[in-house]
Structure 1
Amino acid sequence: NNKPPILNTSYNIELDIDDFFEWEKNITLDKKNKSSIYLFDNKIFFSAKVISCENDGVWVLSFGNDIVLIEASGTCEINKFVSFFTTPDNVRLYPIEL
């Protein structure tokens, strides 16, 4: 609804990453083996564990206790962590009611 979030408030959200990830361009293996998200130089960087890869290029990732879906090409290694990045305009957060 385009309202800014209220500081120090918890929200249940759906994360939508609208980008295509190409191996060695904007997605690589990550040796840290830890889920993370951070903003640097106007890019949002994610690290997550690959739990499955579908034939249509959709990768299912474990991001902490949550699941994230991305579209990617290239090597897909189950149970490995990947690091990928995109720009903030490709990321949408939607509040959800549980």
Structure 2
Amino acid sequence: MALLSGTVPRIDDILDVEVDLDEIFSWGRNITASSGRTPSISVANGITQITAELIQGTDEECTALQFGDSILIIELDTPIAEKTGFVDVITTKVRLHPTNI
């Protein structure tokens, strides 16, 4: 589940959005190595799980995840040792912001 900023779109509208995962991630708690190798998003009981490929950034306070052609930046509580590979991210705080592109 996600909160959408702005006007509610009509059913079947296609929107370009920025995804904001409004949470600080901690290895082993809400970000872990994934057995999956395909980007995916699933929602169950109000919890969103995103499987994406980890791209280690130079900033120790954040890292990037590649989800298909998109990049998600997440904030970390401490640097993580993993540099690449697929991860599962668990969150309850997803916000979508239309880019108006």
> Is 1:70–2:71 an aligned residue pair?
no
Q: TM-score, normalised by structure 2?
A: 0.84
**Do the aligned partners of residues 76 and 48 (structure 1) sit closer, same or farther apart at CA in structure 2, a change above 3 Å counting?**
farther
2:44 matched residue in structure 1 = 40
| Aligned counterpart for 2:64 among listed residues 60, 63, 77 | 60
Name the CA distance, whole Å, in 2 between partners of 1:76 and 1:84: 16
For structure 2, the 5+ residue unaligned runs are none
Output the amino acid matched with 1:64. Answer: G
The answer to which of 69-78 and 56-65 deviates more is: 69-78
1:94 matched residue in structure 2 = 97
For structure 1, the 5+ residue unaligned runs are none
Aligned residue pairs: how many? 96
Output the amino acid matched with 1:95. Answer: P
Asked if the contact 2:54/2:87 (under 8 Å) is kept, the reply is yes
Name the CA distance, whole Å, in 2 between partners of 1:4 and 1:27: 30
Name the CA distance, whole Å, in 2 between partners of 1:14 and 1:55: 21
Name the CA distance, whole Å, in 1 between partners of 2:57 and 2:6: 33
4+ residue stretches of structure 1 with deviation over 6 A?
none
